[in-house]
């Protein structure tokens, strides 16, 4: 089957099966707003929605089209929490701020499903919980800690042994796993388009094909220039994550873009699909260099993971993904893989997201470390609170570049190499 194309989006399963896009024509001429939002992924769209909802005049500028970045390309796994546990959050941010952040992190999935329900977003959303497969003793220990810490926040986390987990996912290749009731899965591009539609319905002005090329101070506010237009706004929000360019000096150096790739099979037969993820969960792993997988609404097997060394988003090698999928599920045999694509996640030094005040009235939110479906939606809300002058749960930080950012490729290479070896060692211990 020839993939359906979009003028801007690279071909993917999600482009082929997404809900229609809300019109977002390029900005032409001058515009005025209370808030100019740069970036049309979940972060920017959620910020636009939450600001428009309280009556702010919002103009959102997206270089390509809403959902073009990671938001329209990801695995659609609505993952709960952060990569670090509440105890670590409190250690880093202090008891009081840390507690607020942990409570906020506890509620990220709720926010996603609440928005989907409230704005009737058609995005094949399911909430059977999130599964994480454990790998070796390190993985089991991490899940015991996860269960203990998050259950203190009222979360239902179930730890499963090898057989119990195999019954849930249809593969016995893991040492066990856990089910966290907060999570779920969705069609990510449809979700992005649904947020765009809701934001537009609330009054936000959305412009695709409108890369912000310059930001300058204008009186007490900001002027954002695009190839054919300009926006004057009191406030500015930047949500460009792994696609951050040189627009704001130093912002690009706060994250490291790392490519992630996905392959999707042809639809499985009903009999085959029943042997794989019968509960239609989304699954991730405790491995350092991890894989993630799920079925889509048409029973295609959707399998993602990091690239090989020196892959770029447009030239990823997908062989290792297909091989791992068949290793986990030998019943897939030599199934055809209809789609493959990639995108950039944004990694931060501390593996936690960041909300930054760039200048008076200007904020950026980014750095989801590959777990941003729920958290970027929440970040949009947090950015809106910051703009409104209400104390958000997130700590507002200053812009801080990653030291030796220029050597980032070496860091990614090192992570891929050493992580894969350490993962293997974990299994032997």
Q: Which residues bind ligand FAD (CB under 6 A)?
A: 38-44, 61-64, 68-71, 73-77, 79, 211-212, 239-243, 245, 247, 260, 262, 292, 304, 342-345, 366, 368, 370-374, 376
d(CA 233, CA 220): 9
b/e string for 375-395 if b means 16 or more Cβ within 10 A?
Answer: bbbbbbbbbbbbbeeeebbbb
- Classify 264 as helix, strand or coil: strand
Beta strands 337-347 and 256-265, pairing class: antiparallel
Which is nearer to ligand FAD, 62 or 426 (by Cβ)? 62
CA-based end-to-end distance of the chain:
46
In the complex, minimum distance from the CB of residue 282 to ligand FAD, in angstroms, rounded to a whole number = 7
In the complex, minimum distance from the CB of residue 51 to ligand FAD, in angstroms, rounded to a whole number = 15
Which is nearer to ligand FAD, 161 or 214 (by Cβ)? 214
In the complex, minimum distance from the CB of residue 191 to ligand FAD, in angstroms, rounded to a whole number = 10
Q: In what order do the strands lie in the sheet with 301-306?
A: 157-161, 176-180, 130-134, 282-285, 291-295, 301-306, 256-265, 337-347
Which is nearer to ligand FAD, 69 or 137 (by Cβ)? 69
In the complex, minimum distance from the CB of residue 37 to ligand FAD, in angstroms, rounded to a whole number = 9
CA-closest candidate to residue 158, choices 133, 179, 174: 179
d(CA 356, CA 344): 20
In the complex, minimum distance from the CB of residue 154 to ligand FAD, in angstroms, rounded to a whole number = 21
Which is nearer to ligand FAD, 77 or 143 (by Cβ)? 77
Residue nearest ligand FAD (C-beta atom): 372
Which is nearer to ligand FAD, 274 or 379 (by Cβ)? 379
d(CA 145, CA 122): 35
Which is nearer to ligand FAD, 135 or 303 (by Cβ)? 303
b/e string for 178-189 if b means 16 or more Cβ within 10 A?
Answer: bbbbbbbbbbbb
In the complex, minimum distance from the CB of residue 365 to ligand FAD, in angstroms, rounded to a whole number = 7
């Amino acid at each position: 089957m020839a993939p359906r194309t979009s003028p801007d989006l690279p071909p993917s399963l999600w482009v082929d099966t997404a809900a229609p896009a809300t019109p977002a024509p390029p900005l032409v001429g001058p515009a005025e707003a209370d808030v100019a939002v740069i970036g049309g992924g979940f972060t920017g769209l959620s910020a636009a929605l939450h600001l428009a909802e309280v009556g702010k005049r919002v103009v959102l500028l997206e270089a390509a089209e809403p959902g073009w970045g990671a938001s329209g390309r990801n695995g659609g796994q609505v993952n709960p929490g952060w990569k670090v546990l509440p105890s670590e959050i409190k250690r880093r941010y202090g008891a009081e701020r840390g507690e607020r952040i942990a409570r906020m992190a506890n509620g990220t999935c709720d926010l996603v499903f609440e928005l989907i329900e409230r704005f009737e977003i058609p995005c094949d959303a399911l909430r059977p919980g999130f599964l994480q497969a454990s790998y070796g003793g390190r993985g089991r220990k991490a899940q015991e800690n996860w269960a203990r810490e998050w259950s203190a926040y009222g979360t239902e986390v179930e730890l499963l042994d090898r057989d119990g987990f195999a019954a849930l996912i249809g593969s016995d290749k893991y040492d066990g796993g856990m089910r966290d009731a907060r999570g779920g899965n969705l069609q990510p591009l449809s979700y992005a388009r649904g947020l765009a539609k809701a934001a537009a319905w609330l009054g936000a002005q959305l412009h695709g094909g409108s890369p912000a090329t310059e930001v300058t101070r204008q009186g007490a506010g900001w002027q954002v220039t695009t190839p054919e237009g300009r926006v004057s706004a009191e406030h500015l929000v930047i949500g460009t994550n792994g696609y951050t360019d040189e627009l704001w000096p130093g912002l690009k150096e706060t994250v490291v873009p790392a490519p992630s790739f996905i392959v999707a099979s042809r639809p499985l037969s009903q009999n085959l699909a029943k042997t794989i993820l019968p509960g239609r969960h989304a699954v991730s792993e405790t491995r350092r260099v991890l894989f993630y997988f799920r079925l889509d609404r048409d029973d295609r097997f959707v399998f993602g993971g990091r690239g090989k060394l020196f892959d770029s988003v447009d030239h990823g090698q997908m062989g290792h993904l297909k091989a791992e999928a068949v290793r986990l599920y030998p019943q897939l045999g030599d199934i055809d893989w209809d789609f493959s694509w990639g995108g950039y996640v944004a990694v931060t030094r501390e593996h936690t997201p960041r909300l930054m005040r760039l200048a008076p009235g200007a904020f950026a939110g980014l750095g989801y470390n590959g777990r941003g479906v729920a958290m970027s939606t929440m970040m949009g809300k947090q950015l809106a609170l910051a703009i409104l002058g209400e104390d958000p749960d997130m700590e507002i930080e200053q812009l801080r570049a990653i030291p030796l950012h220029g050597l980032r490729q070496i860091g990614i290479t090192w992570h891929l190499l050493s992580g894969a070896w350490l993962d293997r060692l974990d299994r032997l211990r």
